A and B are shown apart, each in its own frame.
Chain A
Amino acid sequence: MRSLPPLVTQGPELSPAQLERYSRHLLLPGLGMSGQRRLLNARVCVVGAGGLGSPALLYLAAAGVGHLTVIDHDVVEVSNLQRQVLHRAESVGTSKAESARAALLGLNPGIEVISRHAQVRADTVHDLLGGHDVVVDGTDNFATRYLVNDACVQMGLPLVWGAVLRYDAQVSTFLPPALVPPAEAVQLRDLFPAMPSPEAVPSCAEAGVLGALCGQVGSMMASEVVKLVTGVGEPVTGRVLVIDVASMRTREIPLRPASDREATTPHSPTPSAPSALASASPTEVSGELASLTVLDVREPVEHQLGTIPGALLVPLGELLSWRSVGELQRRRVVVTCKTGPRAERAARHLLELGHGDVRVLSGGMRRWVEEVDPSLPRY
């Protein structure tokens, strides 16, 4: 096992109240008094107070990380509560960053928690992340993940990274060359050099995620932060932990720097813009239903929650296996999913197969429910 020197210097001596609160850490070989003083002196930034951010933040606050910054621009939604254990039912509709701050200070009033109700953008990311010792990525989309990664690489910040989907998760700690030999200084772009297009990969909002898996992975991320700050143990760096909670098996993938990374790392990622697809608003579709075939490319369980009258269920995976459009060739087609990305992917496939009249329902079922049929559940 190869440990690293602690990232953070020791803060002041512990008060009697702190000695009592952190006694289980003080007893730990390797962590002890000096480790706890480092934790209390640490500045940790958690991007995203969602499925991964919730457990990570709870354990970091409980561990006595002295200065926590929580960045999230969303508000708490009912569908978050299945896994985002930091938030309470009464916080629905309020800022996630603020809800997180209140919950964390309720757990540990002896730390500082700064909430940033802000979106991470190319022009704000350096200001938001700067001044911290470690960054934790618990965000829910590729664009923000690459922004955070690239900023951490540019600023030489350690990044604890995790992602979840369905029953699967990936975790790794990306360290800058100042902390480890060059062969071990890997980053997100060594694993996935270019940002995948959002329509190629489903999100948790589209494909679901097991709530307790988020707890497992967020806790692992918090452990990584504690280890980095105190110098205890060996971080998961130069390797990626892949967790399959369905079989409850964990495997490791070794990770080395990509051979031609320099040539392929843009300063700020810009997703390649695919050609525009034709779209139709919910009102337009509602008015033309009689002359249209609507394809619902969501999963069967989503379809059961309610769909557009007459819509045919063809889950995206099945549609992508089509080698011809068959009888649909003569029909005007509108494709829908929950918010749009899967429908776009499906529409492109139909166009590639030679269909000439394919549109995407703009805003997906989310907008349909808002504008046409409010009796259907939002999920």
Chain B
Amino acid sequence: MPTLRYFAAAAEAAGTDHEEVDGVDVQAVLTSVRRAHGPRLAHVLEHSSLLLDGQYVRDPSTELSESSVLDVLPPFAGG
């Protein structure tokens, strides 16, 4: 199954820093984790970057393989 890795506020909202989620594409996986973790994660996902094996995902229909790693990274600007 594809692996999602959650960082910072995304990990807090998901209650875990990674999980395996069944789904053939990015959209399917996101729908599934929104359902599982509720509106707080949905809100974080709205603003986070999704990186598939290091590359920014623009298209939710991007296909995932068994070994895909999808990183969920919220932006922050503090310095």
Contacts and interface: CB of A to CB of B under 8 A. Distances in A.
A100 B11 CA distance: 36
A142 B79 contact: no
Interface in B8-59: 8-9, 11, 17, 38-40, 43, 46-47, 49, 51, 53-56, 58
A259 B53 CA distance: 13
B55 A165 contact: no
Q: Give the interface size bracket for A toward B.
A: 35 or more
Nearest to A140: B79
A190 B56 contact: yes
Interface in B48-79: 49, 51, 53-56, 58, 71, 73-79
Given A141-B77, A168-B7, A259-B56, A317 B47 contact: no
B79 A256 contact: no
Interface in A148-206: 162-166, 168, 170, 190-193, 196, 198, 200-204
B54 A253 contact: yes
B78 A165 contact: yes
A145 B73 contact: no
Q: Which of B54, B58, B79 has the most CB of A within 10 A?
A: B79
A335 interface: no
B43 A258 contact: no
A50 interface: yes
B51 A140 contact: no
A140 B77 contact: yes
Contacts of B79: 48, 50-53, 137-140, 162-164, 204
B76 A168 contact: yes
B73 A163 contact: no
Contacts of B54: 238-239, 253-256
B39 A168 contact: no
A168 B8 contact: yes
Contacts of B78: 51, 140, 163-165, 203-204, 207, 209
Main secondary structure of the interface of B (DSSP, over half): mixed
Interface residues of B, number: 27
Nearest to A205: B78
A200 B76 contact: no
A256 B53 CA distance: 8
B55 A192 contact: no
Contacts of B55: 256-259
Nearest to A167: B8
A90 interface: no
Contact of A255 (B11, B40, B47, B51): B51
Q: Which of B11, B53, B54, B76 has the most CB of A within 10 A?
A: B76
A328 interface: no
A260 B58 contact: yes
A375 interface: no
Interface of B: 5, 7-9, 11, 17, 38-40, 43, 46-47, 49, 51, 53-56, 58, 71, 73-79
5 contacts: A137-B79, A196-B75, A200-B47, A256-B54, A317-B43
Given A196-B77, A240-B73, A259-B55, 19 more contacts: A52-B79, A140-B77, A140-B79, A142-B75, A145-B77, A163-B75, A163-B76, A163-B78, A166-B8, A168-B8, A191-B49, A192-B75, A193-B58, A201-B47, A202-B76, A207-B78, A242-B8, A251-B5, A254-B54
* Across the A-B interface, the 3 shortest Cβ-Cβ residue pairs: A254-B54, A204-B78, A165-B76
